[in-house]
Structure 1
Amino acid sequence: MDKKKLGFWSIVLLTINSIIGTGIFLSPGSVAKSAGTKAPLIYIVAAIFTSMLAITFASAAKYVSKGGAAYAYSKAAFGDSLGQYVGVTRVIAASIAWGTMGTFVVRTTLKIFGFDSANLTYVTIGFLVLMIILLLINIFGTKLLTIISDISTIGKVLALVVTIIAGVAILAYTGTSHISELSSLKAQDGTPLIKEMTATTFVTAVIAAFYAFTGFESVASGSQDMEEPEKNLPKAIPLAIGIIAAIYFGIILVGIHLNPVALVQSKEVVVLASIFTNPILEKVVIIGALVSMFGINVAASFHTPRVLEAMAKEKQVPEIFAKRLSNDLPLPAFLFTAIFAIIIPLSFRYDSTSITIISSISRFVQFLIVPIAVVIFFYGKSKEPVLDSKKNMVTDVIIPIIALLLSILLLVKFDWKGQFSVKDSTGAVVTNVKAIVSMIVGYVVLPAIMFIYSKTRKESK
């Protein structure tokens, strides 16, 4: 046994660290607003959906060990063209996710130090400073990255556990639950804020909760550095998600019983902190969130450029993105993805709700393609040779098909019109042009440019 490789429990910890980031600190309010008292159930449903997808990605990793995760799987299963499309859109999705997390860490830092976290100038300057810090961390190498990752894991889990324990203690001491206050909340027009659950509101709530579970898709990309990934990944990832789901369930349950009004109506960056009136507990949650967010940003700054680098090595994007510094930092790829991570939040004026939804939805291309790829690997129909791995009908066919169907269901039932609309200065609902343009550029224009580049390059040889 190679002691240098990650064992089962190391994979579990890696998964926990990759998933717990900004979502649970920021999304409980939107989930509670959509689902009301059923919010804890929504997190369980999101955890089940995540488990299906996570197992699917883990199964793909045992057939394809190249870097790039979804890009590598799609290219192996379907060939260069679709692989290139998934690769480009995955870079975009990862960059958007990075930008989303960067927005939250900057705004939280500004709040902690008493600055206006809604000031666009402050946030933009903070964003640029954050990117410079991340660049320096990457230049120093993986040792510093590992230390920060470990500190982040401890900080985020500790903050969440303290939140649950403190909340339970307060509820036990006072003997009072405020969950009934959810039904009395009113919108500006006087109608109930928490409406009856429909298929659309259910899906919207599940996607909002699902954002708190994203990050699992990057875990399997390092399968070549793990012990028996074909056995350990399909077990470790669902176990980690189960642990996370239990923590999230406890958080949302405490929140809607302790202070549901603050959870739903708070304008604070770290929504979770608003459920406490005790300033010490509030600070613990905010600092825990900041540590968690920063750690996830460090991880994103490491993983995101390497997807673009993997494509450059396959000559599907300009080869300059495959160039590395002497310390193995792919600097051109880093700078490209960092710029994209800055542009998206800036174009949305750092509106947390809009970029969170865009970040969640932008991942669904790979959630549709990878399940099909795994089934293709199982039946030996891939375009490129794959590893001769032990096949399993449950993890390689049944679960991927379930994951695919669930992804399609969520996309069909999703409130596209509502999420791509915003209120203007007069309160009127208008089309969110920036969101639509961003999706068109990211999922049509850029892939088309890369496809033309690749085709032209081949024809010139």
Structure 2
Amino acid sequence: MTQTTIKKLGFWSIVLFAINSIIGSGIFLTPGSVVSMVGAKAPLAYLGAAVIAIVLAISFASAAKYVSKSGGAYAYAKASFGDRFGFYMGVVRYFSASVAWGVMAVSVIKSTLSIFGGNPNDFRSVSIGFVILMIIITIVNFLGEEFFTWVNNLSTIGKLTSLVILIIAGVSILLVTGQNNFSQINRLTGNGGLIPSVTTSSFVMAMVAAFYAFTGFESVSSGSEDMIKPEKNLPRAIPLAIIIISIIYIGTISVAMMINPVAIVKTNQVVALAAVFSNRILQTIILLGALVSMFGINVAASFNSPRILEAMANEGQMPHWIAKRNRKGIPIVAYIITVALAILIPMSFLYETTLVILMSAMVRFFEFIVIPIGVVGYYYDKHQQPILNAPKNWWTDVLIPLLGVLLTAFLLFEYDWVGEFSIHGHLNWYAISGMIGGFVVLPIIFALFARWERK
């Protein structure tokens, strides 16, 4: 079978893929953290986070119309700032994405064990479930692009359906009973309550927390060469996906707070949204939606992560044999390396997720500054390598990317760095050494390996 016969993702499959890459466990498991920060202003926090996500998504979409190669941020950074900077971006992005995939898979197993009464802290049980899940995802990938697209679309529709049912059921309950319990959250707010009085600082922190439920759009273009006309479809698909997700997120949190806002904050259930409803059927639908959502985002990660490494090999910045594909068009060598990293790194750290979350946040901030600046360079023809002759737009290629840089700087300033790099007032050397390893040592090792291969 030749490469030209491989089925690629069309526009609507890209939209569903983008949604699948973004909606994970956050909206199902952790809305209580946002509500506990700002109480009744939680929907506004999600709205603010949605605005930031849309601005940054437009920046990445603009980059996609100028650079259609796979690799996502790696390809954009390489075109903007040259081989060395692109190589560094590729290494840190690839390692972060690979290990983050493993951590997300572990989260699926731990959540599943918790939901069904198992012990999520039992290393043996988690490890067995973890390996089985990765085998299933590997089978999904190795059956080819057509089967992968089917699974991706099905999981995306499944998670969207559960959230839409939640919204419709909630609105129906409100209309039938005529009761709106939104104001009940005020009983927990203020002095002596579970929710402190809302300040500008606490609202900003809630918005930052809500923003992470929107991340993932930056990885959608990693496999752009497996998409139909990525330079045309990605700039339309990514913003559309963010808009759809924004509507669903805000609708979900608003309806949940109208039905039973106190339960969101006080519940001990793994899936916080399920605690909002007393109906067992609705609870089951939400639980299944959460599991499908977590599985789906792992499927998306299994597509994105290997293609970063493959893109670097295709560009001659990693050994060429890493870019080898099988007859179904799967980057088999890059996938095997990636799945090995995704399993071994989390397992070797006994599934400790703090470092991975921190590194993932750092890489995203790095991307959210570099790529918008690169887009401005594309507009003014200030770039290191050839780009596509795409139609230019000052609003989407200059103004919005610069706004994205300012918003990212704002997020960087508000991020709780002290809390991430310290434990009970002492430096967290585990996190510090991990960051040095990921951002300094690993790129050096990869660079030496690539140089040795070239020689």
Same fold (TM over 0.5): yes
Structure 1 position 27, deviation (Å) = 2.9
* 5+ long unaligned stretches in structure 2: 1-6
**Cα pair 1:100 1:359 within 8 Å, conserved:** no
Partner of 2:302: 301
**Cα pair 2:99 2:341 within 8 Å, conserved:** yes
Structure 1 position 143, deviation (Å) = 2.2
Out of 436-445 and 127-136, give the one that drifted further.
Answer: 436-445
Q: In structure 1, what is the Cα distance between the partners aligned to 2:192 and 2:321?
A: 56
Q: In structure 1, what is the Cα distance between the partners aligned to 2:245 and 2:307?
A: 27
Structure 1 position 227, deviation (Å) = 6.9
One-letter amino acid matched to 2:372: P
Asked if residue 280 in structure 1 is aligned to residue 281 in structure 2, the reply is yes
Change over 3 Å in CA distance of 1:7–1:150 after alignment to 2: closer
Out of 200-209 and 47-56, give the one that drifted further.
Answer: 200-209
Change over 3 Å in CA distance of 1:348–1:18 after alignment to 2: same
Asked if residue 149 in structure 1 is aligned to residue 152 in structure 2, the reply is yes
> Among residues 44, 49, 71, which one is paired with 1:41 in the alignment?
44
Asked if residue 447 in structure 1 is aligned to residue 443 in structure 2, the reply is yes
* 5+ long unaligned stretches in structure 1: 423-427
Q: In structure 1, what is the Cα distance between the partners aligned to 2:267 and 2:147?
A: 36
The 5 Å alignment of 1:119-138 reads 119-138=122-141
Structure 1 position 64, deviation (Å) = 1.2
Q: In structure 2, what is the Cα distance between the partners aligned to 1:429 and 1:280?
A: 46
Cα deviations by residue, 1:230-263 (Å, 9 ceiling, x for unpaired) = 5654444323322211110111112223233332
One-letter amino acid matched to 2:283: E
Cα deviations by residue, 1:47-95 (Å, 9 ceiling, x for unpaired) = 1111111111111111111110110111111111110111011112322
Cα deviations by residue, 1:362-408 (Å, 9 ceiling, x for unpaired) = 32221111111111111112111111111111111111111111111
Partner of 1:15: 18
Q: In structure 1, what is the Cα distance between the partners aligned to 2:74 and 2:272?
A: 34
Structure 1 position 210, deviation (Å) = 1.8
**Cα pair 1:56 1:400 within 8 Å, conserved:** yes
Change over 3 Å in CA distance of 1:347–1:432 after alignment to 2: farther
Change over 3 Å in CA distance of 1:283–1:450 after alignment to 2: same
TM-score (norm 2): 0.88
Partner of 2:143: 140
Structure 1 position 44, deviation (Å) = 1.1
Partner of 1:315: 316
What secondary structure, in the 3-state scheme, does the structure 1 residue paired with 2:305 have? helix
Q: In structure 1, what is the Cα distance between the partners aligned to 2:141 and 2:9?
A: 22
Structure 1 position 33, deviation (Å) = 1.9
What secondary structure, in the 3-state scheme, does the structure 1 residue paired with 2:385 have? coil
Query: Between Structure 1 and Structure 2, how many residues are aligned?
Result: 449
What secondary structure, in the 3-state scheme, does the structure 2 residue paired with 1:372 have? helix
Q: In structure 2, what is the Cα distance between the partners aligned to 1:69 and 1:282?
A: 38
Partner of 2:212: 211
Asked if residue 92 in structure 1 is aligned to residue 95 in structure 2, the reply is yes
Out of 346-355 and 370-379, give the one that drifted further.
Answer: 346-355
Partner of 2:249: 248
**Cα pair 1:59 1:234 within 8 Å, conserved:** yes
The 5 Å alignment of 1:188-199 reads 192-199=193-200
Instruction: Report % sequence identity.
Output: 52
Asked if residue 107 in structure 1 is aligned to residue 110 in structure 2, the reply is yes
**Cα pair 1:96 1:359 within 8 Å, conserved:** no
Q: In structure 2, what is the Cα distance between the partners aligned to 1:177 and 1:84?
A: 54
Structure 1 position 171, deviation (Å) = 3.5
The 5 Å alignment of 1:375-454 reads 375-421=376-422, 431-454=427-450
Change over 3 Å in CA distance of 1:223–1:68 after alignment to 2: closer
**Cα pair 2:158 2:289 within 8 Å, conserved:** yes
Change over 3 Å in CA distance of 1:95–1:281 after alignment to 2: same
**Cα pair 2:264 2:273 within 8 Å, conserved:** yes
One-letter amino acid matched to 1:316: Q
Q: In structure 1, what is the Cα distance between the partners aligned to 2:43 and 2:355?
A: 23
Q: In structure 1, what is the Cα distance between the partners aligned to 2:343 and 2:416?
A: 26
Partner of 1:73: 76
What secondary structure, in the 3-state scheme, does the structure 1 residue paired with 2:390 have? coil
Cα deviations by residue, 1:278-332 (Å, 9 ceiling, x for unpaired) = 2221111010111122122112112211101111222323444323344433333
Q: In structure 2, what is the Cα distance between the partners aligned to 1:345 and 1:265?
A: 30
Change over 3 Å in CA distance of 1:118–1:180 after alignment to 2: farther
Change over 3 Å in CA distance of 1:165–1:419 after alignment to 2: farther
Structure 1 position 270, deviation (Å) = 2.2
**Cα pair 1:104 1:269 within 8 Å, conserved:** no
Out of 51-60 and 411-420, give the one that drifted further.
Answer: 411-420
Partner of 2:240: 239
**Cα pair 2:106 2:130 within 8 Å, conserved:** yes
Partner of 2:370: 369
**Cα pair 1:234 1:395 within 8 Å, conserved:** no
Partner of 2:3: none
One-letter amino acid matched to 2:436: I
Out of 135-144 and 299-308, give the one that drifted further.
Answer: 135-144
Q: In structure 2, what is the Cα distance between the partners aligned to 1:63 and 1:335?
A: 30
Partner of 1:336: 337
Q: In structure 2, what is the Cα distance between the partners aligned to 1:352 and 1:253?
A: 30
Partner of 1:425: none
Partner of 2:29: 26
Out of 77-86 and 6-15, give the one that drifted further.
Answer: 6-15
